[in-house]
């Protein structure tokens, strides 16, 4: 049965191989035969109808379909192929659907209500984490929040003595991971200092540590150290102060309230963790968000693990529980790169997500583990023009048979990837605020990596300045394929926004066949609950 589920990827393997070897492109007969093979493989699929022992939910934050497409091409081109016929690991999953992402009060949502829908089965209002729509935004009362709390799939799993974990490249207190374990009407209340005076609802970091029912969360890996240490203590890596006013060191509370527990904050200590000896692992590798994958090795002072490494370690610890586990893994910085208007880092972080998914597939039994890959929402990220097959996805458009880049009506070249809004506005100046003539070759603005990530905005980058101007810059391949280039946008905004279109759901394993058609986002929870047998 496992071989049948692998038949679909095998059916397109010849096309992928042909794409990498440019001199041996598929013939018309190859295209036809591989199409036939795909249909035959689909007919042989045998859905796993038994219950799942484990469920792994992967979230590519902001990973709209255009992001998947561009990342697929980028990944294929980085391996020497044309790119278009390449597949990311999760694109090979046999079952898929589309998810409608709107929230109760938002046509274009934020990550809090969307993740709440996925882990509770109920849609709610913007900025709210695992509370229903009747709680007012920023409700300060703990009793009101408690009365309207929504039970999450993680909490249900823990109540049945399964192991549970959350992994993210964002702060572990950020909206997506927080929705799994926290209940609050303001996603920004990550530390007690973030709350207004008089608010009795616990902050998100405290909720993670104080959730100790049946041993509490077993694995939590991500960023956000300053939310866990008091403002009288300095961060061990950068020397900045913690953000807690209550004088609690939550990292020490983790160790004190859990058995066989470990806390790590750097790469060496992470690698030293023995999954056979540690049952509860807290890893906080940055004061704020983790580095983008493209910058992780070169920029991190003390070192931090990749999303793939964190996923593998989490599974090694959680799978010791014979009853099973629930694991949520978020590639959180795909979203942040899009907000910054920097396609390169969005694509490379999606590429890393694909590797993390493959690691999970390799480490689990397809007969007992449901793996879901989806997004909370999309972005205003577009793929346009008429580039020839194999044209560099980050490059200027060059059409079939052309010997130079295509031109717009002003006689200027343009790129395949762009944004509908954001900091790449063609009349913009630069992230450092310096003015320049946007018609000059040096005109396009570049991405700025915050040298002090704990001081950056909530999405991990600094605001941008603008120099109103007309016209477009004279782009070159060297400019647009630089990793720091910001793709052009139509509307000037400090931060690019989310988008409202449906996002993909791709799944494999027990009950994965239940994903079909276009569904409400909250149905994802109900498929997971059905897979676990929580509905019976």
Question: Is pLDDT larger for residue 467 or for residue 95?
Answer: 95
Residues 228 and 183 in one domain: yes
CB 289 within 8 A of CB 326: no
pLDDT of residue 403: 97
In sequence order, what DSSP letters do the residues of 460-486 get, joined into one string? SS---------S-----HHHHTSTTBP
CB 60 within 8 A of CB 331: yes
Residues 344 and 306 in one domain: yes
Residues 405 and 436 in one domain: yes
Question: Is pLDDT larger for residue 41 or for residue 430?
Answer: 41
Whole-number Å distance between alpha carbons of 301 and 452: 12
- Is 111 catalytic? The answer is yes
Residue 331 resides in a domain: yes
Dihedral pair phi/psi, residue 170, rounded to 5°: -95, -175
Residue 16 resides in a domain: no
- Tokens linked to 330: 């978020």
Residue 326: pLDDT band by 50, 70, 90 thresholds?
very high
Residue 473: pLDDT band by 50, 70, 90 thresholds?
confident
Residues 363 and 455 in one domain: no
Residue 290 resides in a domain: yes
pLDDT at 18 over 80: no
Whole-number Å distance between alpha carbons of 89 and 298: 26
Percent pLDDT > 70 in the chain is 87
Residue 105 resides in a domain: yes
Residue 73: pLDDT band by 50, 70, 90 thresholds?
very high
Residues 238 and 369 in one domain: yes
pLDDT at 390 over 60: yes
pLDDT of residue 520: 98
Residue 194 resides in a domain: yes
CATH of the domain at 114: 3.40.720.10
Residues 408 and 328 in one domain: no
pLDDT of residue 445: 60
Residue 441: pLDDT band by 50, 70, 90 thresholds?
very low
Whole-number Å distance between alpha carbons of 319 and 164: 10
Shortest CA distance to 163 belongs to which of 385, 371, 314? 314
β pairing state of 369-374 and 503-508: antiparallel
Helix (H, G, I), strand (E, B) or coil at 391: coil
What's the average model confidence in pLDDT over 68-92?
Answer: 97
pLDDT at 235 over 80: yes
130-169: burial string, b at 16+ Cβ within 10 Å, e else: bbbbebeebbbeeebbeebbbebbbbbbbeeebbbbbbbb
Q: How far is CA 366 from CA 80, 89, 462, in A?
A: 30, 14, 42
CB 341 within 8 A of CB 496: yes
Whole-number Å distance between alpha carbons of 198 and 262: 34
Residue 22 resides in a domain: no
For residue 273, the enclosing domain spans: 58-87+99-380+498-532
Residues 165 and 249 in one domain: yes
Shortest CA distance to 523 belongs to which of 493, 494, 502? 502
Residue 20: pLDDT band by 50, 70, 90 thresholds?
very low
Residues 396 and 284 in one domain: no
Shortest CA distance to 344 belongs to which of 446, 191, 460? 446
CB 512 within 8 A of CB 75: no
Whole-number Å distance between alpha carbons of 59 and 68: 12
pLDDT at 298 over 80: yes
Q: Which of 87, 99, 111, 128 is catalytic?
A: 111
Residue at token pair 């999606």: 350
Counted domains in the chain: 2
Give pLDDT tens digits for 253-292.
999 999 999 999 999 999 999 999 999 999 999 999 999 9
Residue 8 resides in a domain: no
Residues 491 and 511 in one domain: no
| Span of 21-30, 190-199, 391-400 with lowest mean pLDDT | 21-30
Residues 286 and 323 in one domain: yes
pLDDT at 10 over 70: no
Give pLDDT tens digits for 130-176.
999 999 999 999 999 999 999 999 999 999 999 999 999 999 999 99
Whole-number Å distance between alpha carbons of 467 and 375: 34
Residue at token pair 């998947």: 68
Residues 164 and 238 in one domain: yes
Give pLDDT tens digits for 174-194.
999 999 999 999 999 999 999
Residue 147 resides in a domain: yes
Instruction: Show the 3-state SS of 104-128.
Output: CCCCCCCHHHHHHHHHHCCCCCCCC
Residues 191 and 328 in one domain: yes
Residue 300: pLDDT band by 50, 70, 90 thresholds?
confident
- Tokens linked to 279: 């049952």
């Amino acid at each position: 049965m496992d071989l049948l589920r692998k038949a679909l990827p095998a059916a397109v393997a010849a096309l992928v191989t042909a794409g990498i070897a440019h001199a041996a492109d598929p013939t018309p007969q190859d295209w036809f035969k591989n199409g036939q093979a795909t249909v035959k493989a689909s007919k042989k699929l045998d859905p796993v109808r038994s219950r799942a022992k484990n469920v792994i939910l992967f979230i590519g934050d902001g990973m709209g379909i255009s992001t998947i497409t561009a990342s697929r091409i980028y990944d294929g081109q980085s391996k020497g192929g044309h790119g278009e016929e390449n597949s990311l690991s999760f694109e090979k999953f046999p079952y898929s659907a589309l998810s409608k992402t709107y929230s109760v009060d938002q046509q274009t949502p934020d990550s809090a209500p969307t993740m709440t829908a996925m882990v509770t089965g109920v849609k709610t209002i913007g900025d709210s984490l695992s509370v229903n729509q009747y709680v007012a935004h920023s409700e300060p009362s703990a009793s009101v929040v408690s009365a309207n709390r929504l039970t999450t799939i993680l909490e249900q799993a823990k109540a049945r003595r399964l192991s549970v974990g959350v992994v993210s490249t964002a702060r572990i207190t950020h909206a997506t991971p927080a929705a799994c374990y926290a209940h609050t009407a303001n996603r920004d209340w990550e530390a007690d200092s973030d709350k207004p005076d008089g608010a009795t609802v616990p902050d998100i970091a405290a909720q993670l540590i104080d959730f100790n029912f049946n041993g509490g969360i077993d694995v939590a890996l991500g960023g956000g150290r300053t939310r866990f240490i008091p403002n009288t203590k300095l961060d061990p890596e950068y020397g900045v102060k913690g953000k807690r006013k209550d004088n609690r060191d939550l990292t020490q509370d983790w160790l004190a309230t859990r058995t066989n527990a470990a806390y790590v904050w750097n790469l060496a200590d992470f690698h030293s963790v023995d999954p056979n000896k540690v049952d509860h692992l807290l890893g906080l590798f940055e004061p704020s968000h983790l580095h983008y994958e493209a910058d992780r090795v070169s920029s991190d002072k003390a070192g931090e693990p990749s999303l793939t490494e964190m996923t593998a370690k989490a599974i090694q610890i959680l799978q010791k529980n014979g009853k099973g586990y629930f694991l949520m893994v978020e590639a959180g910085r795909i979203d942040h790169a899009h907000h910054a208007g920097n396609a390169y880092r969005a694509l490379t972080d999606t590429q890393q997500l694909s590797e993390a998914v493959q690691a999970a597939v390799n480490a689990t039994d397809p007969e007992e583990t449901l793996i879901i890959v989806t997004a909370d929402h999309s972005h205003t990220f577009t793929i346009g023009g008429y580039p020839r097959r194999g044209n560099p996805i980050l490059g200027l458009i060059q059409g079939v048979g052309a010997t130079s880049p295509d031109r717009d009506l002003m006689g200027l070249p343009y790129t395949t990837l762009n944004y509908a809004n954001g900091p790449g506005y063609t009349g913009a100046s630069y992230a450092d605020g310096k003015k320049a003539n946007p018609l000059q070759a040096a005109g396009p603005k570049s991405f700025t990596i915050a040298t002090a990530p704990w001081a950056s905005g909530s999405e991990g980058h600094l605001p941008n300045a603008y120099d109103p101007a007309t016209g477009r810059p004279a782009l070159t391949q060297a400019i647009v394929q630089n990793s720091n280039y910001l793709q052009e946008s139509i509307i000037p905004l400090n931060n690019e926004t989310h988008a409202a279109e449906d996002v993909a759901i791709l799944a494999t394993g027990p009950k994965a066949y239940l994903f079909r058609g276009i569904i409400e986002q909250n149905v994802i929870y109900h498929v997971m609950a059905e897979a676990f047998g929580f509905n019976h």
